[in-house]
Chains A and B, each alone.
Chain A
């Protein structure tokens, strides 16, 4: 981890109609950092993530990539979206393509890699998530855990600078969660910058450099994983964590 800021969020606001979902969010993500965002359902975690890769357009404030605002009209959005990958809660694998094609399509259309090169990269990444035997399978023929590992391979195949994860394991049966978490842990160890929205507290504590606790559209508390999980300062953070920790951390 270096101190080079990759993503900076400044006074970010997002309103749906008259519902203010995000209110004055400020955030910095450094190169090689793993940032976890935790918080109650509806607190705006997904919206924040979706604003960062512009699936939602911010209402106010700014987002910077390498100190450059991504909201100006002359900013190269395609290039940015290719460099900021996303892994979805509901996988969103392309239903008309098989596993291999899912991992190649972004490389060939966006990065203009030639198919042989794209195939090589895709197979490498599929191998890392132990999905290479399934290259010919269509998404509908896979289990949830398998789909999510393909989703990770698809995102990583683009060689992103930052990878966003929106609750990648919450749609999975418990016995499949570990496979996916293992894949993510391996990724974190490669030094990839990651922003992760999760309810897997043990996992977040384990791999995060920095943790953000969101509550009702604002960052209520943030700090190192150690600080947030063992010694939360705010009452809201304590209540939230208590609910999760009662059953014992997984």
Chain B
């Protein structure tokens, strides 16, 4: 049983592999220095809407990345003689993106921890940091001066960081589950679900500047965290045996400590601030309208293409699976094998979450086979194939549900199986399955949000980016949900109208006699 399961999984992976259209990476050949960062961790890196203050355009997006990391990346790229390309990547996606060759370096406020060194290499330090705790200004822990003051405090830190493991040094602390990113922790802090979170000084300065309700607590000497230089030092993540490592270190060595401080100070001052004047909706739309519109566009594009292509896949699979098992033994055997393969496809894609599929396809394909897909293309493939798996069963059911008499009548006229499917069965099956397709479309609009795991800049991803900048989490997500609602509502209505249209008129017109008399005319035209 278990063996078979494993086999299924491998088969599924093979499917992914076959479906992903490979475009081979040529890491060495091109003259770009692709740097991955979250673009959501001010003042190290953030997203902004224009190129002011030396921001660099984010690959495949109309937004720009700014911050300390970007400035450092520019210097390094310059001394390498390469063109800097910023690739916006979620924190968890950084290491896989590096090892799979999607980026050449991680400059994202990352520390060279021993665990990370197992998979990737690091340059020399490019920033030295210090751990701090961010709390509410009017909260119970606002006046804490040492770690022991945090007994019974609900604290957290970012997932997969030493910030979070450092919590173990606080006796009696209530360790809340680690969170995905800083925006989430800021919301949690504001909403009171946590009392504070561990961060590094630059982020602390940023957040206190942006949000007057929070406070950064620094600790001196033994009152604070015991940290390892491997943790507090920030370094550039590189692939193992990167031939450019020495040149990168040389480039970093040229930037003095003083210069680094200056760059950090400037970054803290330049980080995006929320403009909070007048009506918040209008202000938000004015400032981030472009990002919201492009996010909406991407979401619509992915869900629409995904639904249409998925529908075609589902239809084809449904047709293949309903071919009658007649004829020669070889033909029947072939049909059985095909049917089995198709059911593996359906089981694998229906039985795994789309977020996992996205990660496997995007990072897995690159890591295992060296295939490098465009993020949007990967998203389109995943949503299409996923939708196809769901619709395949619906289409098969739709075909089976068509009365057997329809097949018989068509065969009695001499129509082939193909003609029968084409002209008689599929039109009915498709019409019957339209409500399910509409439903799948609506689900896709909402579910494309999981594609933020591969950093596709759809609506939810844009929303988190905006919230990460303006700290107006509630307002931003409220607007995002309104957009989702408008999308799903409109699309449902449009598809209902199409359904009604396909059902044809409710009444028919009786043909008057003149119409019948005109028939021979048709004939005379022909002859």
- Which of B405, B412, B520, B525 gathers the greatest number of chain A CB atoms within 10 Å? B412
Q: Which of A4-12, A62-70, A130-138 contacts B (4 or more CB under 8 A)?
A: A130-138
CB-based contact B409/A110 at 8 Å: no
Q: Is A120 an interface residue when CB atoms closer than 8 A count as contact?
A: yes
Of the listed stretches B243-251, B415-423, B465-473, B488-496, chain A binds B415-423
Chain B 393-435 interface mask (CB, 8 Å, partner A; 1/0):
0000000000101101111111110010001100110010000
- B411 and A81 within 8 A (CB): yes
* Given known A106-B415, A116-B525, A116-B526, contact A137–B508 (CB-CB < 8 A): yes
- What is the distance, in angstroms, from A167's C-beta to the closest C-beta of chain B? 14
Interface residues of B in 494-525 (CB under 8 A from A): 504, 507-512, 516, 519-520, 522-523, 525
B1-22 residues with Cβ-Cβ distance < 8 A to A are: none
Would B424 and A94 count as touching, CB distance under 8 A? Answer: yes
Minimum CB–CB distance for A89 against chain B, Å: 9
Could you tell me the distance in whole angstroms from the C-beta of A249 to the nearest C-beta in chain B? 30
Contact of B526 among A54, A90, A117, A138 (CB under 8 A): A117
Chain B interface, DSSP helix/strand/loop, else mixed: helix
The size bracket of the interface on B is 20 to 34
Interface size class of A (residues with CB under 8 A): 35 or more
Closest to B427 in A: A96
Evaluate contact between A123 and B516: CB separation under 8 angstroms: yes
In the bound complex, what is the Cα–Cα distance between A201 and B370 (angstroms)?
A: 78
**Would you call A158 and B406 a contact (CB within 8 A)?**
no
The residues of A that contact B419 with a CB separation of less than 8 Å are: 109-110
1/0 per residue A67-102: CB within 8 Å of B? 000000000011111111110101111111110000
Determine how close the nearest CB of chain B comes to the CB of A100; give it in whole angstroms.
9
Contacts of B415 in A (CB 8 A): 105-106, 109-110
Question: Are the C-beta atoms of A106 and B405 separated by less than 8 Å?
Answer: no
Instruction: Say yes or no: A95 contacts B406, CB within 8 Å.
Output: yes
Distance between A151 CB and nearest chain B CB, rounded to angstroms:
8
Residues in B with CB closer than 8 Å to A55 are 408, 411-412
Query: A109-150: which residues lie under 8 A (CB-CB) from chain B?
Result: 109-110, 114, 116-117, 119-120, 123-124, 127, 132-138, 141
| Chain B residue at minimal CB-CB distance from A120 | B523
> How far, in angstroms, from A120 to B410 measured CA to CA in the complex?
21
With A88-B409, A90-B405 as known contacts, state yes or no: A96 contacts B508, CB within 8 Å: no
Question: Closest residue to A98 on the B side, CB-wise?
Answer: B508
Q: Are B523 and A116 in contact (CB under 8 A)?
A: yes
Using CB atoms and an 8 Å cutoff, list the residues of chain B in contact with chain A. 403, 405-406, 408-416, 419, 423-424, 427-428, 431, 504, 507-512, 516, 519-520, 522-523, 525-526
Selected A-B contacts with CB under 8 Å, 25 pairs: A53-B412, A55-B411, A77-B414, A78-B414, A78-B416, A81-B412, A81-B413, A85-B412, A86-B412, A88-B409, A91-B405, A92-B403, A92-B409, A93-B409, A105-B413, A106-B413, A106-B414, A110-B414, A110-B415, A116-B525, A117-B523, A123-B516, A132-B511, A134-B508, A158-B414
